[in-house]
Amino acid sequence: MTQNIHLIFKTHLDVGFTDYASRVVERYFKKYIPVSLRVARQMRDSDRPERFIWTTGSWLIYEYLEQANALERAEMEAAIDLGEIAWHALPFTTHTELMDPDLFRFGLSLSQSLDKRFGKKTIAAKMTDVPGHTRGIVPLLV
């Protein structure tokens, strides 16, 4: 019997909770993202079959691509093309019961925009560190 185990490396992004929002975003852009890209590249270049794939909310990837310089953007785009950087359908962890339908749809539009740009199809969203989602989002996910 074949058994596959998937270890998902993902980031829980707390913008404005653990520190000022600008500092948290800067830490991701200047430290965590470059380290993730480097680890993915090192694993790809090694003789081992394992790969490092980093997953986060779509907002962080979208915003990084907007703000990165040309070299950083090209490195991120290459990692996305290689499947080493991935996003899920939600932009970040949020309390969805505080969002109206238009705001929730806008959040989903970020992953849809990235999907279109990179030829991907996002099929999942993740939830961490919130007590749950309102069932009101179900029709918006279909």
Q: Judge contact between 59 and 98, C-beta under 8 A.
A: no
Helix/strand/coil percent split, the chain, to 5:
55, 5, 40
Report the candidate in 4, 6, 3 with the shortest Cα–Cα distance to residue 124.
6
Span 8-18, average pLDDT: 79
pLDDT exceeds 80 at position 129 = no
pTM of the model: 0.88
CA distance 61 to 65: 6
Domain ranges for the chain: 9-141
Closest CA to 63 of 19, 120, 22, 104: 22
Q: Is the pLDDT of residue 6 over 80?
A: no
9-141: in CATH 3.10.20.30: no
Would you state the pLDDT for residue 97? 86
- How does residue 58 score in pLDDT terms, banded at 50, 70 and 90? very high
Which structure tokens are listed for 88?
């899920």
pLDDT digit string, tens, across residues 26-45: 999 999 999 999 999 999 99
